[in-house]
């Protein structure tokens, strides 16, 4: 197989600003690594504030024309992007695996998921509607007019290098907004490739700008401080989200915040255990556990604890670990050394407090950032991994004996992104749906991400929704017009 880097020519490993692909004004570059080998795979431009503001110039200049572009035309460009991604799926997937580490099958899944946002929002672009009504007391009419909010700044994480950007760019373009995306420094290549694809299908210059940088703090804060920016959408950790919310407050920016999670996955004694096992494997191991909605805590009702644990441990232990581009690999490399160290420390902390390791638990020697699938039992409530985002292939199993007890434990976190419940009792499932403080819940399902559903959290997991009909509203302001008509 050819080198996945061949799809992104050297001239496109630079900043995408307006109609140009250009070097950083300072000429600086930074290295992107393959996390499975630690080897440099590319150098990309390292933007500073000057470059960030040049991207904002381009987005601001393009704004009026893009907002005035007929919705059908915008829709067609999004459809063309969807088709191009579908046609080039293998190339995009290999690039994702190379820079991020996930197995190729997972990367293919991400391309399909990311591309769907373009299809979904191509369909939404032509369905933006206002309202016309009579004021209750008569005498005048009320007209509501949706308008694009304006140039948007997007900051995205490394765990889904394509989809996290697609979830923002597609609805923004559908609504008539222009965009500047700052991808994670560890995975900038996929976003550059997306920008290249969107250039090729004819998206006008200035509508999709991409600024790669190692200086996220400086560049993003300069963008947020500029009054031409009208919206921030961020996906990443709650910690950085808080910082950006404070900065956005100075300009009273519209914000969408997709932040961290700490999902509980609850297996009731009446569950179909085959379904629960499949669901737990997906909810824990999709994306090597490096997902905001990954099952971080697995609660199993006492009567089925032994059977569930034995079967789950067997399946986890059978997964093969290796380079994501190699055949038959289930678990690729984690993103970096810091991530492996954090996970290793969380496992050691749980063991110190009395947990037992059933599978895995030992980081391997050798190059690359690998950690084996790991299952822990007897994990005490004060173990740090029940509070922190594990963000890796480690599953703590905790037993429970009553619904009230497990509901209280599941809700005992600052996060409120996703949860999972496995039971055959509909009323029980609905009581959990009503009682769990999460923005999303899977009932007898471990896979819940869907472009046609509203993705987003409550509590400190975020503000706003991505995908679905709600997704485009994040990019629309509403002007109310009063029309005198006695």
Region binding ligand NAP by CB under 6 A among candidate stretches 28-36, 78-86, 151-159, 357-365: 151-159
Given a contact cutoff of 8 angstroms between Cβ atoms, the answer to whether 45 and 27 are in contact is no
- 32: contact with ligand NAP by CB under 6 A: no
- 184: contact with ligand NAP by CB under 6 A: yes
CA–CA dist 213, 52 (Å, integer): 9
Q: Of the listed 106, 116, 258, 474, which one is catalytic?
A: 258
| Residue 371 beta carbon to ligand NAP: minimum distance, rounded to whole angstroms | 16
- 243: contact with ligand NAP by CB under 6 A: yes
Region binding ligand NAP by CB under 6 A among candidate stretches 92-100, 257-265, 268-276, 399-407: 257-265
CA–CA dist 413, 388 (Å, integer): 9
In sequence order, which ranges of 69-162 are alpha helices (DSSP H)? Answer: 71-87, 89-100, 104-125
CA–CA dist 352, 374 (Å, integer): 16
- 360: contact with ligand NAP by CB under 6 A: no
- 60: contact with ligand NAP by CB under 6 A: no
Q: HEC string of 61-91? A: HHHHHHHHCCHHHHHHHHHHHHHHHHHCHHH
Given a contact cutoff of 8 angstroms between Cβ atoms, the answer to whether 88 and 114 are in contact is no
Q: Which residues contact 237 (CB under 8 A, 6 or more apart)?
A: 157, 259, 260, 389
- Binding to ligand NAP (CB under 6 A): which residues in 263-322? 292
Region binding ligand NAP by CB under 6 A among candidate stretches 26-34, 73-81, 86-94, 231-239: 231-239
Q: How big is the site for ligand NAP, counted in residues (CB under 6 A)? A: 29
- 49: contact with ligand NAP by CB under 6 A: no
- 463: contact with ligand NAP by CB under 6 A: no
Region binding ligand NAP by CB under 6 A among candidate stretches 30-38, 298-306, 377-385, 455-463: 455-463
Tell me whether residue 307 is one of the annotated catalytic residues.
no
For the CA atoms of 408, 414, 420, 426, the dihedral, rounded to the nearest 10 degrees, stands at: 50
Q: In this structure, is the dihedral angle defined by the CA atoms of residues 322, 324, 327 and 330, taken in order, positive or negative?
A: positive
What residue is closest to ligand NAP based on CB?
236
CA–CA dist 359, 372 (Å, integer): 9
| Residue 445 burial (CB count, 10 A) | 15
Give whichever of 216 and 268 is closer to ligand NAP, judged by the CB atom. 216
- Binding to ligand NAP (CB under 6 A): which residues in 387-426? 389, 417
CA–CA dist 430, 344 (Å, integer): 37
Q: Which residue among 4, 161, 261, 279 contacts ligand NAP (CB under 6 A)?
A: 261
Chain residues that interact with ligand NAP, rule: CB under 6 A: 155-159, 164, 182, 184-186, 216-217, 220, 235-237, 240, 243-244, 258-261, 292, 389, 417, 457, 461-462
**Known catalytic residues?**
258
């Amino acid at each position: 197989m050819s080198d996945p880097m061949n799809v992104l020519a050297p001239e496109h490993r630079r900043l995408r600003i307006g109609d140009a692909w250009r070097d950083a004004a300072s000429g600086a570059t930074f290295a992107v690594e393959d996390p499975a080998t630690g080897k440099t795979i590319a150098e990309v431009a390292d933007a500073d504030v000057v470059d960030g503001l040049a991207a904002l110039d381009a987005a601001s200049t393009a704004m009026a024309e893009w907002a005035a572009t007929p919705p059908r035309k915008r829709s067609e460009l999004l459809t063309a992007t969807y088709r191009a991604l579908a046609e080039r799926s293998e190339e995009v997937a290999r690039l994702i695996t190379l820079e991020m580490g996930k197995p190729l099958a997972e990367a293919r899944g991400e391309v399909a998921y990311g591309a769907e946002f373009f299809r979904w929002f191509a369909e939404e672009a032509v369905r933006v509607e206002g309202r016309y009504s009579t004021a209750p007391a008569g005498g005048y009419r009320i007209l509501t007019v949706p308008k694009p909010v304006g140039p948007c700044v997007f900051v995205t994480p490394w765990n889904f290098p394509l989809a996290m950007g697609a979830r923002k760019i597609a609805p923004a373009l559908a609504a008539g907004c222009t965009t500047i995306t700052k991808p994670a420094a560890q995975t900038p290549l996929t976003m550059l490739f997306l920008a290249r694809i969107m250039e090729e299908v004819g998206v006008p210059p200035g509508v999709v700008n991409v600024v790669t940088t190692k200086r996220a703090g400086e560049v993003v804060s300069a963008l947020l401080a500029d009054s031409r920016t009208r919206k921030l959408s961020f996906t990443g950790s709650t910690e950085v989200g808080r910082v950006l919310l404070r900065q956005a407050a100075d300009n009273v920016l519209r914000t969408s915040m997709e932040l961290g999670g700490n999902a509980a996955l609850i297996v009731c004694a009446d569950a179909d255990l085959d379904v629960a096992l499949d669901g737990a494997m997906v909810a824990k191991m999709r994306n090597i556990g490096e997902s905001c909605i990954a099952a971080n805590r697995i609660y199993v009702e006492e009567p089925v604890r032994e059977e569930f644990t034995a079967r789950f441990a067997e399946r986890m232990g059978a997964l093969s670990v290796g380079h994501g581009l190699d055949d038959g690999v289930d678990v690729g490399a984690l993103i970096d050394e810091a991530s492996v160290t954090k996970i290793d420390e969380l496992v050691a902390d749980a063991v110190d407090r009395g947990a037992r390791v059933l599978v895995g638990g030992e980081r391997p020697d050798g190059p690359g950032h690998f950690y084996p699938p790991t299952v822990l039992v007897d994990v005490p409530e004060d173990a740090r991994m029940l509070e922190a985002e594990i963000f890796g292939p480690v599953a703590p199993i905790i037993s429970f004996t009553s619904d009230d007890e497990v509901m209280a434990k599941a809700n005992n976190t600052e996060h409120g992104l996703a949860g999972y419940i496995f039971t055959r009792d509909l009323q029980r499932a609905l009581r959990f749906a009503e009682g769990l403080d999460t923005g999303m819940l899977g009932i007898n399902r471990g896979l819940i991400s869907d472009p046609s559903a509203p993705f987003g959290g409550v509590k400190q997991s975020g503000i706003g929704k991505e995908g679905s009909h709600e997704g485009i509203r994040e990019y629309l302001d509403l002007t109310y017009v009063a029309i005198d008509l006695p």
